Amino acid sequence: MPCLTWPFYYAKDKCMDEKEAREEIERLRKEIDYHNYRYYILDNPVVTDAEYDRLMRRLVELEEAFSHLVTPDSPTQRVGAKPLAAFGTIPHTQPMLSLNNAFTAEEAVEFDARIKRSLKTGPDEKIEYAAEPKLDGLAIELIYEDGVFTKGSTRGDGYVGEDVTLNLRTVRSIPLRLKHDTVKPPRYIEVRGEVFLPLESFRKLNREKEAKGEAPFANPRNAAAGSIRQLDPRITALRPLDIFCYGLGTVEGRQFKTHFETLELIKAVGLKVNPFARAVRGIDEVLKYHDEMEEKRESLNYELDGVVLKVNSIELQNKLGVITRSPRWALAYKFAPKQEATRVREIFVGVGRTGALTPVAVLDPVSVGGVTIERATLHNEDEVERKDVRPGDYVVVQRAGDVIPEIAYVLKDKRPEGKELERFRMPGNCPECGSMTEKIGAIHFCTGGLLCPAQLKESIRHFASTRAMDIEGLGGMHVEQFVNSGLLRDVADIYYLKDSELLKLERWAKKSVDNLLDAIERSKRPALERLIYALGIRGVGEHMARVLAGEFGDIDALAKATEEELMSTYEIGPETARSIADFFMERHNIGVLKKLEEAGVVFPKKEKKAGKLAGKVFLFTGTLKSFTRDEAKDIVEAAGGEAAGGVSKKVDYVVSGEEPGSKSQKARAMGLKIIDEEEFKKLIGK
């Protein structure tokens, strides 16, 4: 039973049991909720900030001691002591997908050709696209129910976003109630948009920060994101943020033929749409639109980094579908990145979590698009040779997609005459552990595995990271210290750390040790997908971890799966299947899993939803009369079934609508059960 000291105005010391803690937590939550209402909604507080802070600190203390009593609607999950954990979360009913990028006209032309091949149209067919400026801001989702703004969230990981409702309420261009002059708003509607800070406001904000002796924001996007993710909505309210809306998520009672129809509805109910959005026919008009917006880029009062293209027809969008996290029917066609020249001081080789060796150029510091660049990845040896980058070279640096620093090309005319610069060569031995390296494809790998300290450190950092086991306080410097001191030899050793060992290390006091051990203890009950992701299996990112958790349900079943069983799972190809199977055949990895379990880490099971369709997998192809494809998928999942994105042996029913695509042919060839829409309606009881 946790024993707590009451440091605040309650003036009593005692050990609490769970019943007492639950009662006080409930009382504190009600009191804090009341004060939040008085402060944020009525703007009429009845307690001082100091009194409010004491209540909040007390609630935080209790929830840390009784972590299983924390609920998503607790005030600590929305406004609290630190970013991220202080916000609640809101799941997206439809994923907020990321877009594939094109950086050249050739890549945009290939995108158009790929669309035509997928749709089996002639090469001369002109596809109609919805073209919109691509703002460099923060993607958000607004939820309106009965015309009233009820919730707002960030994109997050695409599936779950941070609850920033109170902050979004302060953005004046976001109406709290939708207009209904010309059209009645849907009862429920999810609107997606990009929040940004106008350039004039950005410059003014930075001048004010510099006058106060504070560090200025690097760019408008950072300023917008930082403003929306403030813990205090009053700070957000002082920032003149704006928004352009670009699409919809779930909408009740409305169907649309084109993307532009969705934009028209967004405008009709009182939300802002970028005035430069328009429909264009064919790739020639796409290229012309891109060039036009790039010319306008410098004259606008907001940052653009490209244009977004979407196949305008919703029917064609459904036929084209999605690949993992990106729709096949949309593209971000980026502008030429901002570039600057600088000098390469040296090239060193870094070793990643999977043993991949990556050459990295150390540069004379240079500012590119408001960000100081000191290092740039060179990806692999082939890339270094292709660009012929050598230590001492003057190079042009750009931020790929205006984000990732990279070397665009070498300024060879600046090479010193009469002095040959030494060419870079990948080492035959790992620079960290001396093990032999091997080249697989274009990448060199260290063969030392977790005997290599660099791989060990990176695997532990990954395991403890926020999106994996979320062990707060176990950052890069601490991992370095623990590995070097011999306390951590694998990820499972984290759960065997003792306060007596940690207190002997530099910069560790009792409070910091207690906080770390508490965080380690809290991490022992992860979601299954987080645990799978944390293991660091090559090729298994967050999305793939979610796929594996949903398909296999627990670690034991995943560990026993054969390559053939893995490959029969939608989205898992041969390389990933081999990587997963190899991971669980490695004795060291099985030993680590056993150590984790013995340390008390719970290996969760992901139960499938109960319902009349429980355990059944449906695949939809063609156009349905009674439902959109998304509505049909929602019905299946609500009844406990699963909706697949592609043909596999796991599919129980292929629902074939009008004009079915190639999926129907593949399904017939595989002998899968194919039903029509009427049979599907009987299965779901409609």
CA distance 412 to 672: 60
Report whether pLDDT(150) > 60. Answer: yes
How many domains in the chain?
6
Quick one: 561 exposed, middle or buried, by C-beta within 10 A (0-12, 13-18, 19+)?
buried
Pair (224, 323) in one structural domain:
yes
**Considering only CA atoms, which of 377, 433, 364 is closest in space to residue 403?**
377
**Contact criterion met (CB below 8 Å) for 236 and 228:** yes
pLDDT, tens digit (0-9, with 9 covering 90-100), for 404-429? 688 988 998 898 887 788 999 999 99
User: Over the chain, what is the mean pLDDT?
Assistant: 84
**Considering only CA atoms, which of 263, 227, 226 is closest in space to residue 247?**
263
Confidence of residue 45 (pLDDT cuts 50, 70, 90): low
Q: What is the CATH number of the domain that holds 591?
A: 1.10.150.20
Please report the DSSP string for 494-533 in residue order.
Answer: GGG--HHHHTTSTT--HHHHHHHHHHHHHTTS--HHHHHH
User: Other C-beta atoms within 10 Å of 484: how many?
Assistant: 11
Report whether pLDDT(586) > 60. Answer: yes
Pair (134, 277) in one structural domain:
yes
Mean pLDDT of 609-625: 78
Report whether pLDDT(7) > 70. Answer: no
Amino acid letter, residue 527: A
Pair (236, 323) in one structural domain:
yes
CA distance 112 to 330: 10
Residue 492 Cα to chain centre, angstroms: 26
Report whether pLDDT(289) > 90. Answer: yes
511 domain residue, yes or no: yes
Confidence of residue 683 (pLDDT cuts 50, 70, 90): confident
Mean pLDDT of 218-240: 81
Of 414, 436, 463, the residue at which a domain comes to its end is 414
DSSP H or E segment with residue 164: none
Helices (H) and strands (E) in the chain, counts: 24, 26
556 domain residue, yes or no: yes
Pair (45, 63) in one structural domain:
yes
More confident call, 451 vs 499: 499
Map tokens 């939040």 to a residue: 36
Map residue 289 onto helix, strand or coil: helix
Mean pLDDT of 26-31: 85
pLDDT, tens digit (0-9, with 9 covering 90-100), for 56-109? 778 888 887 887 887 755 666 433 223 334 578 888 888 888 888 888 899 999
* Minimum mean pLDDT range among 76-85, 210-219, 471-480: 76-85
Confidence of residue 116 (pLDDT cuts 50, 70, 90): very high
CA distance 178 to 269: 5
Pair (328, 269) in one structural domain:
yes
Report whether pLDDT(134) > 80. Answer: yes
- Rg (the chain; Cα; Å): 28
Residues 6+ apart with CB under 8 A from 428: 436, 437
* Minimum mean pLDDT range among 102-111, 400-409, 433-442, 632-641: 400-409
- Geometric angle at alpha carbon 83, from 78 and 86, rounded to 5°: 25
Pair (515, 532) in one structural domain:
no
Query: According to DSSP H, which parts of 154-232 are helical?
Result: 165-168, 199-211, 220-228
Pair (229, 310) in one structural domain:
yes
Pair (308, 160) in one structural domain:
yes
Confidence of residue 595 (pLDDT cuts 50, 70, 90): very high
The per-residue pLDDT for 195 is 95
Of 522, 537, 566, the residue at which a domain comes to its end is 522
Q: What is the CATH number of the domain that holds 77?
A: 1.10.287.610
CA distance 96 to 152: 13
262 domain residue, yes or no: yes
- What does the block give as tokens for 195? 């929040």
pLDDT, tens digit (0-9, with 9 covering 90-100), for 539-585? 888 878 888 888 888 999 999 999 988 887 756 778 888 889 988 98
Pair (63, 198) in one structural domain:
no
Residue 550, CB half-sphere, CA atoms under 13 Å: how many? 20
- What does the block give as tokens for 385? 């040779």
Report whether pLDDT(255) > 50. Answer: yes
Crossing angle, helix 18-36 and helix 49-65, to 10 degrees? 150
120 domain residue, yes or no: no
Confidence of residue 461 (pLDDT cuts 50, 70, 90): very high
Q: What is the set of active-site residues?
A: 134
Pair (305, 263) in one structural domain:
yes
Map residue 140 onto helix, strand or coil: strand
- Phi, psi of 154, rounded to the nearest 5 degrees: -80, 170
User: What single-letter DSSP state applies at residue 571?
Assistant: T
The per-residue pLDDT for 42 is 40
Report whether pLDDT(525) > 90. Answer: yes
Crossing angle, helix 105-119 and helix 282-296, to 10 degrees? 150
pLDDT, tens digit (0-9, with 9 covering 90-100), for 371-395? 788 999 898 899 899 999 999 999 9
More confident call, 664 vs 148: 148
134 domain residue, yes or no: yes
Longest dimension (CA), the chain: 83
Pair (171, 233) in one structural domain:
yes
Report whether pLDDT(14) > 60. Answer: no
Mean pLDDT of 495-510: 93
**Contact criterion met (CB below 8 Å) for 17 and 1:** yes
CA distances from 33 to 29, 50, 162, 346 (A): 6, 16, 19, 56
More confident call, 11 vs 607: 607
Residue 451 Cα to chain centre, angstroms: 31
- What does the block give as tokens for 96? 């907020």
- What does the block give as tokens for 521? 């203890």
- Domain assignment of residue 468, given as a range: 450-522
Pair (327, 373) in one structural domain:
no
73 domain residue, yes or no: yes
Q: Which of 75-79, 205-209, 345-349 has the highest mean pLDDT?
A: 345-349
Mean pLDDT of 582-596: 89
Mean pLDDT of 167-174: 87
Report whether pLDDT(12) > 60. Answer: no
541 domain residue, yes or no: yes
Mean pLDDT of 426-454: 87
**Contact criterion met (CB below 8 Å) for 306 and 165:** no
More confident call, 357 vs 7: 357
**Considering only CA atoms, which of 170, 177, 227, 229 is closest in space to residue 43?**
170
Report whether pLDDT(262) > 70. Answer: yes
Of 357, 388, 414, the residue at which a domain comes to its end is 414
Confidence of residue 466 (pLDDT cuts 50, 70, 90): confident
The per-residue pLDDT for 598 is 95
Report whether pLDDT(38) > 70. Answer: no
**Contact criterion met (CB below 8 Å) for 140 and 168:** yes
Q: What is the CATH number of the domain that holds 390?
A: 2.40.50.140
The per-residue pLDDT for 77 is 47
Report whether pLDDT(21) > 70. Answer: yes
DSSP H or E segment with residue 429: none
- Phi-psi category of 307—alpha, beta or left, where left has phi over 0 and alpha has psi -120 to 50? beta
Mean pLDDT of 609-620: 77
Please report the DSSP string for 229-283 in residue order.
Answer: T-SSHHHHHTS--EEEEEEEEEETT---SBHHHHHHHHHHTT----TT-EEEEHH
**Considering only CA atoms, which of 364, 383, 393 is closest in space to residue 426?**
383
102 domain residue, yes or no: no
Q: What is the CATH number of the domain that holds 651?
A: 3.40.50.10190
**Considering only CA atoms, which of 588, 562, 587 is closest in space to residue 649?**
562
**Considering only CA atoms, which of 673, 639, 640 is closest in space to residue 655?**
673
